Amino acid sequence: MKSNAIVWFRNDLRLLDNETLVEAAANFDIIPVYIFDPRHYKTSNLGFTRTGSFKTKFIIETLAQLKSDLQKIGSDLVIRIGKPEILIPAIAKEVNAVKVYASKEITYDEIIIEAALEASLFKNGIALKLIWQQTLFHQEDVPWPIKQVPDVFTQFRKEAESTVKVRALFQKPTKLPAVTNIELGELPTLSQLGLEETVNDKRAVLDFEGGERAANKRLDNYFWKQDLLKNYKETRNGLVGADYSSKLSPWLAVGAISPKTIYYEVKKYEKLRENNDSTYWLIFELLWRDFFKFMAKKHGQKIFLENGISSLEHTLKNDAATFELWQNGKTEDEFINANMNELRMSGFMSNRGRQIVASYLIHQLKVNWTWGAAWFEHSLIDYDPCSNWLNWAYIAGVGNDPRNGREFNVESQRVQHDPKGKYVALWS
């Protein structure tokens, strides 16, 4: 008989290509656990929670699918609300676990929690095994130690592309042992977490549904059924509707799909349908995602601070009144307002929209960019700490931009991307 181990699910809420799950299950009888951390649902001094309703609802749906998929192969999912570094050692004791497995996180708060958990488990003779699996290119395969990863994207991409091979997928486990002798716990509702219900807005780009099955359905739809991938490079700067980009980001953010799964699906599409600039460009964008993950690991807490990873002194204001106008889509610019309304009412905004409203807050309104990044953290259904904070820092000129910041001319962007005013009319 095998000993017991906990698999602590974090942002890896899937069965396919989940190395943590596969490795744990090969060696132990596993007890899958997910924990809602109340620190995400506490109101900050900016007046809102770190995680908002859209993303939380999406996580709850994803966990419901994960739980039912685990049940289909004999297992289950234990659910708790509390601090993982306190609850996991207690669960480990309850189920006699000798080891805890989890996917490695990259950002500051998550690393602090990992360290506290490790110390607490260690006292009880339990090991914590953390497995890196958030990126397309594995950290052990890139040609630099973390402190030497290039700070310029093009250099990162070119060197990594020419040296790294994407690792093979890990197959789904087909049978797991039953979870016994422990209360399973239930999925919380939004109100139990102190959040408001979301309202479905018909104008939203997509009716995002959480879960691994929903992720694969979207992939299938975008690539195969609608054959949209072949035009991705031309359409990706769109603003209206489901089809201009993959919309895979919410599932990627919670790990309901892995970037490797998307990569291998692109390769299959290139073989069976078409191999062109667009098919490459989706991988190119996934490399931006990788780049920001490596940058977050390299620069640690700095990515969340006003001066970012640069040595520039920042001169932006903590102007609450102006910030509120921006948040609520009440600025003097109707294109900005439309984007901010879309974000507030649907939890999503296009990449182009994100760039323009961030630039506007920073370069026109001169408001502290970290406030804008915090509002995105709260509002976005696809919030990802590395992509969010480093894209903001980039536009503010305190991140990875050799040109020291990006200022967008809102009017020319509007003329280029919304010439007939369709988007503004939709979200006004």
Ligand X SMILES: Cc1cc2nc3c(=O)[nH]c(=O)nc-3n(C[C@H](O)[C@H](O)[C@H](O)COP(=O)(O)OP(=O)(O)OC[C@H]3O[C@@H](n4cnc5c(N)ncnc54)[C@H](O)[C@@H]3O)c2cc1C
Which chain residues interact with ligand X by CB under 6 A? 236, 245-249, 252-253, 282, 285-286, 288-289, 292, 350-351, 354-355, 358, 376, 380, 382-384, 387-388, 391-392
- CB nearer to ligand X: give 223 or 392: 392
- CB nearer to ligand X: give 101 or 323: 323
Distance of alpha carbon 183 from alpha carbon 158, whole angstroms:
50
Nearest distance, CB of residue 176 and ligand X, angstroms: 29
168 burial via Cβ count (<10 Å: 0-12, 13-18, 19+): exposed
Are residues 248 and 257 in contact, defined by beta-carbon separation less than 8 angstroms?
Answer: yes
Q: Please report the DSSP string for 303-330 in residue order.
A: GGSTTTTS-PPP--B--HHHHHHHHTT-
Q: Which of 72, 70, 3 is nearest to 34 (CA)?
A: 70
Contacts of 236 (CB under 8 A, 6+ apart): 244, 245, 281, 285, 351
Nearest distance, CB of residue 351 and ligand X, angstroms: 3
Nearest distance, CB of residue 334 and ligand X, angstroms: 20
- CB nearer to ligand X: give 75 or 327: 327
Q: Which of 25, 81, 34, 95 is nearest to 62 (CA)?
A: 34
- CB nearer to ligand X: give 124 or 404: 404
Nearest distance, CB of residue 212 and ligand X, angstroms: 16
Nearest distance, CB of residue 319 and ligand X, angstroms: 19
Nearest distance, CB of residue 277 and ligand X, angstroms: 14
Residue type, 126: I
- CB nearer to ligand X: give 83 or 236: 236
- CB nearer to ligand X: give 179 or 253: 253
Which tokens in the block code for residue 131?
């497995």
- Residue spans of alpha helices (H) in 13-105: 19-27, 53-72, 84-94
Are residues 63 and 77 in contact, defined by beta-carbon separation less than 8 angstroms?
Answer: yes
Nearest distance, CB of residue 81 and ligand X, angstroms: 24
- CB nearer to ligand X: give 53 or 387: 387
- CB nearer to ligand X: give 13 or 380: 380
Nearest distance, CB of residue 240 and ligand X, angstroms: 13
Contacts of 105 (CB under 8 A, 6+ apart): 10, 11, 111, 113, 114, 134
- CB nearer to ligand X: give 4 or 370: 370
Distance from the first to the final alpha carbon of the chain: 63
Contacts of 403 (CB under 8 A, 6+ apart): none
Q: Which of 370, 365, 360 is nearest to 393 (CA)?
A: 370
Q: Would you put residue 195 in left (φ > 0), alpha (ψ -120 to 50) or beta?
A: beta
Nearest distance, CB of residue 245 and ligand X, angstroms: 3
